[in-house]
């Protein structure tokens, strides 16, 4: 079998509607109907005067109190925080946790001048002594 290269000039138009996209090329036409419009995720709404850093510390205290051990991961804190704030973004949360742990290798990228946590390695943190609850044991 022999191959013969050739080219065909095409002209087309793309029509974009609210939930419909129509592509017309020469005399052929294709229409794509898009699903219902997705709802944009709302932003987290904290009480006036509170920041995500305040939330990070509060959740860390809650988790250590529930576990009875002063050791946790950012993921544990995130899942606990989702119970109260379902619109919380994971990447934002993790960067705030890292910013609160001066010993974390990536802390230099997320500095916040907060030293709530000590980084213990392998994704584990502990509350610093001056932020720890008095009845939490190691």
pLDDT tens digits, one per residue of 99-131: 999 999 999 998 788 999 999 999 999 999 888
Q: Is the dihedral of CA 85, 87, 89, 95 positive or negative?
A: negative
Which domains, ranges and CATH numbers included, belong to the chain? 52-131 (1.10.10)
Which whole number is the average pLDDT over 89-94? 92
Write out pLDDT tens, residues 7-66.
777 788 888 888 888 888 877 888 888 876 555 567 788 889 999 999 999 999 999 999
Give the pLDDT of residue 136: 44
Please state, as a whole number, how many other Cβ atoms lie within 10 Å of the Cβ of residue 63.
Answer: 21
């Amino acid at each position: 079998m022999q191959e013969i290269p050739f080219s065909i000039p095409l002209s087309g138009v793309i029509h974009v509607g609210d939930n419909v996209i129509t592509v017309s090329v020469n005399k052929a036409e294709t229409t794509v109907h898009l699903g219902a419009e997705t709802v944009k995720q709302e932003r987290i709404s904290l009480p006036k005067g509170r920041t995500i850093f305040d939330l990070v510390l509060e959740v860390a205290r809650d988790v250590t109190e529930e576990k009875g051990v002063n050791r946790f991961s950012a993921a544990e804190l995130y899942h606990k925080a989702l119970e109260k704030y379902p619109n919380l973004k994971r990447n934002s949360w993790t960067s705030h946790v890292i910013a609160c742990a001066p010993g974390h290798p990536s802390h230099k990228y997320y500095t916040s001048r907060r030293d709530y946590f000590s980084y213990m390695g392998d994704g584990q943190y502990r509350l610093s002594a001056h932020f720890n609850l008095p009845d939490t044991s190691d």
